[in-house]
Structure 1
Amino acid sequence: MITLLRLSIPAILCARVVDARWFTVMNNCPFTIWCMFTDLSAGTAVPLFATGWEAAAFTSVGFAVPDNWKAGRIWGRRDCDFTITTGPTCLDGWCNGGLLCDPTTGTGVPPASVAEWTLQGDGNLDFYDVSLVDGYNLPMAITNNVNCPVADCLVDLGPGCPDPLKGPFDSTGFPVGCQSACAANIDGNPTDSANCCSGSHSTPETCPPSGVQFYDYFKGNCPNAYAYAFDESSGTALWTCDSGLNADYTLTFCP
């Protein structure tokens, strides 16, 4: 049974609730810590909610999100120790800033499965996706209340992860993550890499999926997720919803 915590919204936001969406983040996993980040270079409207919070198993939080939230990211992290002041604070998905991710540098450290949104984007569309571009650490699904498409990665990619990408590992030796070929630096040149779509491979034409090592592992197991930087060509990576529908979104970890 999921316990939902609908956190209070400041009065100023309540007065304009019609201009906001409701986001629900559900934890169907064992104990985990969740994080949220907004790229402030893309837009300054941010949710009135903490950038990191502790979620016990089988609980949810709900919060209002501005209609024009741009370049927002939510991901998970686990096995954290926030008494650490430098270096990794969590086994996976950690960010700069401890429990609260720093608002300017606090993106998730790979490998991390990431849910991404831009609301009221080009063409008055919401854009959203589940991204494995930074690798994988938790299964997740983005659903909504207006029957727009579902973005998801439902498979635990850790156990079957190719050996060059596998890890990190928990205290029992179980793989809790699967790195991207870019993060694993398989080709040894991240500044000019087909795996990273960098340097001479920095366009969709020069960085096709056929040149990205282990692309088929990620896309084959999670066909509705972004498997590499230019995966829009697959038609099943970036999803849209008419912004006029004012969709509310639910992100479920371990759906």
Structure 2
Amino acid sequence: MFIKFSLIVAAFTVAASARTFTVHNACPFTIWPAMFTGSGHPAPSYPTGWQAAAGTSVSFTVPDNWQAGRIWGRRGCDFSVNPGPNSCLDGGCNGGLVCDPTTGTGVPPATLAEFSLSAGGGDYYDVSLVDGYNLPLEITPSTSACHTASCPVDLGPNCPASLKGPFDSTGFPVGCKSDCLVDPNPSNSPSCCSGQYSTPATCPPSGVPHYNYFKSNCPNSYVYAYDESSGTALWSCLASYASDYTITFCP
């Protein structure tokens, strides 16, 4: 009796300590979502990459303390010929369809949904354009008291010429690179907040050439390395809410 009761308590504890994430593809075309967990942190027990037809959703649990987690979408993938990072037009990863759990972080440009759950009493999450853009994206907490993070705009067509691309077979831009990605000196750059520009004081948004393009179109997203100063980049939700999250592509 004691053993059976202990097993029930253990099962309840596991269930209570997990969150439900739903990834929904609202795009009118197939995408290939991907997921990555930072080194040394517990990872969701779900494949790190899958195919999502238009209008489909999947739900899975992630650890209550999922840290340094990210989810993104890939476009124009064909894993039959080249199952590596270049098997997609953008967002590809080491491993092909299922991203390598240690090196499969994704090839930019890619819009990222980033999470650190139960970090110092709060869930922290953002839609990041730091690595550029490839799909509109939204993070919606199940708790109405918490804010939705989003970049709901297709930034490809009006992307500045120096950042536009890659392109699909019709010439349509399926991405918009970050200023850092095209910087000729990324190790010492205000676009990358690196080298002598590696602090918030030395790397204001005014030093990032196209900051306003990204931020004006997607004000509730994380645009560059120190964008927290905008007040609309990094969002938090009390960990005590134990919120679930829906990640929607093309909201």
TM-score by length of 2: 0.93
Alignment of 1:108-119 (within 5 A): 108-119=106-117
**C-alpha deviation, 1:82, in angstroms:** 1.1
CA distance in structure 1 between the partners assigned to 2:186 and 2:167 by the alignment: 24
Q: Secondary structure at the match of 2:50?
A: strand
* 1:144-189: CA deviation from partner (whole Å, max 9, x where unpaired): 111100000011000000000000000100001000001012xx21
Say yes or no: does 1:131 pair with 2:128. yes
Alignment of 1:135-150 (within 5 A): 135-147=132-144, 148-150=146-148
* 1:101-142: CA deviation from partner (whole Å, max 9, x where unpaired): 1111100111000000000112x0000000000000000110
Largest Rg, 1 or 2: 2
CA distance in structure 1 between the partners assigned to 2:73 and 2:11 by the alignment: 27
Change (3 A) 1:151 1:53: same
Report the counterpart of residue 6 of structure 1 in structure 2: none
Please, which runs of 5 or more residues in structure 2 have no aligned partner? 1-9
TM-score by length of 1: 0.91
- Pairing partner for 2:22 from 1, 24, 38: 24
Q: Which amino acid aligns with 1:93?
A: G
Q: Which amino acid aligns with 2:236?
A: T
CA distance in structure 1 between the partners assigned to 2:197 and 2:236 by the alignment: 27
Say yes or no: does 1:81 pair with 2:78. yes
Alignment of 1:221-232 (within 5 A): 221-232=217-228
Q: Which amino acid aligns with 1:249?
A: Y
Change (3 A) 1:13 1:222: farther
Say yes or no: does 1:199 pair with 2:195. yes
**C-alpha deviation, 1:228, in angstroms:** 0.4
Change (3 A) 1:14 1:102: farther
Say yes or no: does 1:217 pair with 2:213. yes
CA distance in structure 2 between the partners assigned to 1:25 and 1:86 by the alignment: 23
Alignment coverage as a number of residue pairs: 239
Q: Which runs of 4+ in 1 moved over 6 A?
A: 12-15
Q: Which amino acid aligns with 2:233?
A: A
CA distance in structure 2 between the partners assigned to 1:238 and 1:206 by the alignment: 20
CA distance in structure 2 between the partners assigned to 1:113 and 1:210 by the alignment: 22
CA distance in structure 1 between the partners assigned to 2:38 and 2:107 by the alignment: 15
Please, which runs of 5 or more residues in structure 1 have no aligned partner? 1-11
CA distance in structure 2 between the partners assigned to 1:34 and 1:154 by the alignment: 17
Q: Secondary structure at the match of 1:251?
A: strand
Which structure has the highest strand share of the two?
1
Q: Secondary structure at the match of 2:180?
A: coil
CA distance in structure 2 between the partners assigned to 1:17 and 1:85 by the alignment: 35
What fraction of aligned residue pairs are identical, expressed as a percent? Answer: 62
**C-alpha deviation, 1:87, in angstroms:** 5.3
Q: Secondary structure at the match of 1:217?
A: helix
CA distance in structure 1 between the partners assigned to 2:197 and 2:107 by the alignment: 23
